[in-house]
Every structure is written in C-alpha cells, then in structure tokens.
C-alpha cells in the first residue's frame, strides 16, 4: 500500500522547533503502553526504533536499540531492510540517519520540535562567512592548512560544509581519533596544521588538550557574532584549534563547585562527566566519556562504588535503576533534563507508530540531496576512522 507522507520536515539550516501536524493521543490515556505495543507488533520488521540514552524511560521501553550518537548512526546505516526508522532522539541525529540510509527508507522523528540548542549555535551562513574570513586572514592555502572537524551535534548543512572541505564528523566517543586524523591530513601534529572545530568549543578543547597534548594557548574561540570571529590574524596564525563558540545548554551548567561539593560530602566518590562539560569541570573529574562509555564504566566498577554523574538527567536516573549495587547521584541539583530530548514522549511515539499502521508517514526527515551527498562524505569519513567502534 503506498504510504501518505505528512509533514514538511524542517528548515535545513535550523534546529528550531515547529509544531507537529495531526492529533496526538492524550498523555493521560491509560492505554498508551498497550497501543504502542500493538502498533509495534503490527508493524513487525517494517519499523526499527532507535533510542538515544537521554530519552525518557517510557520511550526507551520501545527502542529496538539504545545507544550514544555514534552507535545509533552505525545502527541506522546497518538496517537497510527496515523501510521505516523511528528515531527517538533529536533532529540532528535523525538527519544523520537519513543521510546514512537509502532513498527508499524513511526516517521519522516523532516530534519535529526535538532540536538541539548546541546545533542551533552554528548556522550554515555563519560558518560559510567564517570560512571566507579564514581564507582572507590566512591566505588561499587555507584548504591545505585547515580541516573542519564537526561534532555530530550539528545540522546536516554543517555536515555538508564539512564534507565539501575535506573534514570529518566526530562524536564524543571518537573525537580524539578524529582530531588525530585531521592533524595527520595537514601534515602531522607538529607541522602547523589547524582544525576548525564545530560547534562545541568544550568537546574540542577537552579533546585537544586532554587527549592530544595541545595547550590551552593553542586554542582560540571563534565568535560568529564578532567581526573576524573576534580573533586577530596573529592569534589565528599561532592557533592549532579554532573552536566555534557553541556549547550545550545542559552540560555547560555543571560547575566546578558541584564537583568540589561532591568530593567534600561523599567520601571516595568517583566523578564521571560527559566531554561537553567545561574544561575546568573535566579537569576535576575521574572519568570522562560519551553516554555509552558512562554506562559501561559504572557497570564495570566494583559494587558499592559511589558515583556522581555529570550528564543528562534521564540517563542518570536510568543508571540508578540499571546498577542498584552502586550509589549514583546527579552532579548538579539545579541542572534539568534536556528539554528537546524530552519532547519525544509516549504520545508522540504512539502517534508516529499508529500513523504508520494506518499507512501514513508523519514527520519524515528528508535532507536535501546535495547536502546529503556531502554530509555522507563527512559521515563516511567518521565511520572509516581507524579502530572506531561504539565502545568508547
Ligand atoms: P553521546 O554521543 O555521548 O550520546 O552524546 C550526545 C549528546 O547530545 C550529548 O549531549
Ligand atoms: Fe543538544 Fe545538549 Fe540536549 Fe545533547 S544534551 S541534545 S547537546 S542540548
């Protein structure tokens, strides 16, 4: 039966939310769980549900696979037989899945308003302007001198820019390898090459300094709201890492004082944080890792270990359920859920699944073919990085 496709997708250069078309089931409907089960059973192998670790428990329950962004990208690429992929995550993840799947597969985001404030901090026009400025300030050989390394948390348009300029995508689990690759492409770490790191300054700085041994002085921050990024020619010439001025509005709120307080109040506590946290916070942590790595590290620790965790609250709450033999606390009492991850709730999932059962595709994510081509070049480069698995 041909499927009716509803929803216009979203502006390619924006992660901002839009309304979902159609009627959603009421959150108070006592049959939501049964409805989700029935719809999933009716759809069988024709649908594959991916769930990011920051999703609500009520949604994770229906995920065929859960993971960090790297693992979910791999999983999307590895499901060519599923006509429909329902992505329970945020918009940039669904876009990446669309880029990595074939033209006859459809990726569905149950709520189009599930964006990412960090991804919104790098618009394609700003990034193109920045590149023009870099050419003006550093000369025409900028293409040989600089590789863009773009965090997965970015719009498809920025991924396309990255592919066109010979760069790679990275996630929090492979940023070190991606940076090493990029410096090798410009002649090796000691040859004076540079990386333009988009859009998360913290992941870029943490990886460059902590993993590659660069210094804080090797990093400059490019502010797209200032002329020439607010950076002088001399600063740019000396820099090895040009960090886009973006950050995560959730992880950016974890503070040094919270780590110090945890160490004061919980004897022997281990602090584990996501690398989107600020450099000063990561410096004080015992462990740093992607969501997948956080889960693995706590799971592998001896029973009775005390942890404070600096990442999104849905995952921290789930860690408590997964590992009752550990004592697990949230690093910062004043930090809340990622509001956009939380947009995907059971009513939206039920709506997306039941619509499929009725022959309607709601909220398809479709990336422009030219953007998708170059985005795929950059994503394939990431998937080809040496030794990459979802295990880190
Ligand atoms: P992970 O790749 O570690 O799952 O992180 C994704 C993300 O959005 C963190 O804020
Ligand atoms: Fe984006 Fe931060 Fe939410 Fe991750 S936690 S999806 S980076 S806003």
Atom 2 (ligand 2) nearest CA: 248
Q: Which residues, in sequence order, are CB contacts of 292 under 8 Å at separation 6+?
A: 53, 67, 68, 70, 71, 173, 390, 391, 392
Q: Which CATH number do you get for residue 283?
A: 3.40.50.10800
> Do the bridges between strand 270-273 and strand 241-244 make them parallel or antiparallel, or are there none, so unpaired?
unpaired
- Domain housing 195: 120-247+375-383
Distance 276 CA to ligand 1 centre (A): 8
CB 96 near ligand 1, within 6 Å: no
Same domain membership, residue 52 and residue 133: no
Q: What are the tens digits of pLDDT across the range 223-275?
A: 999 999 999 999 999 999 999 999 999 999 999 999 999 999 999 999 999 99
- The residue to mutate among 291, 294, 311, having the most atoms of ligand 1 within 8 angstroms of its beta carbon, is 291
Of 10-19, 21-30, 294-303, 369-378, least confident by mean pLDDT is: 10-19
Of 175-179, 340-344, 383-387, least confident by mean pLDDT is: 383-387
Structure tokens at 69: 């962004």
Same domain membership, residue 290 and residue 222: no
Same domain membership, residue 272 and residue 161: no
Q: What are the tens digits of pLDDT across the range 312-340?
A: 999 999 999 999 999 999 998 877 799 99
Residue 164 predicted with pLDDT over 90: yes
CA distance 233 to 142: 13
Q: Is residue 391 part of a domain?
A: no
% of the chain residues with pLDDT over 90:
87
Distance 90 CA to ligand 2 centre (A): 8
CB 342 near ligand 2, within 6 Å: no
Identify the band that residue 307 occupies on the pLDDT scale cut at 50, 70 and 90: very high
Alpha helices in the chain (DSSP H): 32-43, 57-60, 69-77, 91-100, 117-120, 124-138, 142-145, 156-164, 175-185, 201-206, 233-238, 256-265, 279-284, 291-300, 313-322, 346-357, 369-383
Structure tokens at 343: 């947009």
What total number of domains does the chain contain?
A: 3
Identify the band that residue 50 occupies on the pLDDT scale cut at 50, 70 and 90: very high
CA distance 379 to 152: 9
- The answer to whether the predicted template modeling score (pTM) of the entire model surpasses 0.95 is no
Same domain membership, residue 216 and residue 80: no
Q: Is residue 389 part of a domain?
A: no
Q: What are the tens digits of pLDDT across the range 347-391?
A: 999 999 999 999 999 999 999 999 999 999 999 999 999 864 443
Q: Is residue 17 part of a domain?
A: yes
Decide: 87 and 105 in contact? Cβ < 8 Å: no
């Amino acid at each position: 039966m041909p499927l009716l496709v509803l929803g216009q997708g979203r502006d390619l250069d924006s992660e901002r939310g839009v309304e979902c078309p159609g009627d959603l089931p009421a959150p108070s409907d006592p049959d939501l769980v049964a409805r989700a089960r029935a719809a999933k059973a009716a759809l069988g192998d024709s649908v594959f549900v991916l769930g990011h670790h920051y999703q609500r428990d009520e949604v994770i329950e229906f995920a065929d696979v859960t993971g960090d962004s790297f693992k979910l990208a791999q999983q999307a690429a590895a499901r060519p037989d599923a006509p429909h992929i329902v992505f329970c995550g945020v918009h940039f993840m669904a876009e990446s899945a669309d880029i990595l799947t074939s033209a006859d597969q459809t990726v569905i985001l149950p709520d189009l308003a599930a964006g990412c404030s960090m991804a919104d901090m790098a618009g394609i026009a700003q990034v193109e302007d920045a590149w023009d400025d870099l050419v003006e300030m550093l000369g025409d050989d900028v293409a040989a001198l600089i590789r863009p390394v773009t965090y997965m948390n970015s719009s498809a348009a920025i991924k396309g820019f990255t592919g066109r300029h010979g760069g790679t995508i990275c996630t929090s689990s492979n940023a070190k390898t991606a940076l090493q690759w990029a410096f090798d492409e410009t002649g090796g770490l000691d040859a004076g090459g540079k990386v333009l790191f988009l859009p998360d300054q913290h992941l870029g700085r943490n990886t460059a300094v902590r993993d590659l041994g660069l210094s804080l002085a090797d990093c400059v921050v490019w502010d797209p709201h200032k002329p020439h990024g607010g950076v002088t020619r001399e600063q740019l010439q000396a820099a090895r890492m040009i960090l886009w001025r973006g950050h995560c509005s959730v992880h950016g709120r974890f503070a040094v004082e919270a780590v110090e307080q945890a160490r004061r109040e919980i004897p022997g506590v281990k602090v584990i944080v996501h690398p989107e946290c600020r450099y000063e916070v990561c410096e004080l942590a015992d462990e740093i890792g992607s969501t997948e790595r956080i889960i693995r590290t706590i799971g592998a620790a001896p029973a009775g270990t005390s942890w404070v965790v600096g990442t999104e609250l849905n995952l921290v709450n789930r860690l408590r359920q997964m590992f009752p033999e550990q004592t697990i606390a949230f690093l910062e009492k004043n930090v809340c859920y990622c509001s956009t991850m939380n947009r995907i709730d059971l009513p939206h999932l039920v709506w997306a699944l039941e619509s499929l059962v009725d022959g309607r595709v709601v909220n398809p994510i479709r990336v422009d073919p030219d953007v998708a081509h170059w985005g795929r070049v950059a994503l394939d480069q990431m998937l080809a990085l040496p030794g990459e698995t979802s295990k880190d």
